[in-house]
Amino acid sequence: MPTAFRRTAVEQIGLAPGERVLEIGCGTGRNLPFLREAVGPSGRVYGVDFSAGMLARARSVVARGGWDNVHLTQSDAADYRSPEPLDAVMFGLSYNTMPHHRAVLARALELLEPGGRIVIMDAKLPPGIGGKLVLPFSIWLMKKTVLGNPYIRPWEHLEPLVDEFRMDEFLFGSYYVCRGIKRA
């Protein structure tokens, strides 16, 4: 995943210093520096991931940064309880990997304050013949790794639940960021 794409996804959340953000499926922590930079030392970044191995790598990122306002939890995201209401939630290449993604999306919206922002950043099959050609490889890779299910369409799940929905595609439709605002 290109670093510029990760930065763009975080920028589209619209975080401000002092805000509180959760990354669902924070993995090895590759988005944490961007989230931490956006909320500054007065904000808080929370990360949740099911994998102890991935979280160990994310904790190394936090330790190297010397960040005392980044808190990581090993948990099923559908069961995660935030210690405080959140201003924003981000799924960073994780939504399609969760077999119960709709339950996790519902939990994310519960954790948000009214007017809070939610962003889903992920990869998808490109449109047209490119997607048809890549599909068999994507399915094979999904079975061998944590690559998400190529048939899941998160933007269709998010759009009816939020206000001001928007979706942007990158790299010929292979990556996207969709976002919205929690209704009051």
Q: Is the pLDDT of residue 50 over 60?
A: yes
Coil vs helix vs strand at 98: coil
Look at 154 and 134; give whichever has higher pLDDT: 154
Mean pLDDT for 84-104 is 92
Tell me what pLDDT residue 14 has: 95
Contact between 95 and 152 (Cβ < 8 Å): yes
Task: Work out the pLDDT band at 99, boundaries 50, 70, 90.
Answer: confident
Burial environment of residue 115 by CB neighbours within 10 A (0 to 12, 13 to 18, 19 or more): exposed
Tell me what pLDDT residue 125 has: 61
Query: Computed from CA positions of residues 17, 21, 23, 26, in that sequence, does the dihedral angle turn out positive or negative?
Result: positive
Mean pLDDT for 61-82 is 97
Supply the CATH number for residue 103's domain.
Answer: 3.40.50.150
Tell me what pLDDT residue 3 has: 80
CA gap 41, 168 in Å, rounded: 29
CA gap 163, 183 in Å, rounded: 6
What percentage of the chain exceeds 90 in pLDDT?
66
Tally of domains within the chain: 1
Look at 144 and 58; give whichever has higher pLDDT: 58
Task: Work out the pLDDT band at 117, boundaries 50, 70, 90.
Answer: very high
Cα–Cα nearest to 85, from 51, 109, 54:
109
Lowest mean pLDDT among 107-111, 133-137, 162-166: 133-137
Coil vs helix vs strand at 58: helix
Tell me what pLDDT residue 97 has: 83
State which residues form the domain around 144: 3-182
Q: Is the pLDDT of residue 150 over 70?
A: no
Task: Work out the pLDDT band at 77, boundaries 50, 70, 90.
Answer: very high
Tokens found for residue 23: 């990354």
Q: Is the pLDDT of residue 136 over 60?
A: no
Backbone phi, psi, residue 167, to 5°? -135, 130
Cα–Cα nearest to 175, from 107, 112, 95:
95
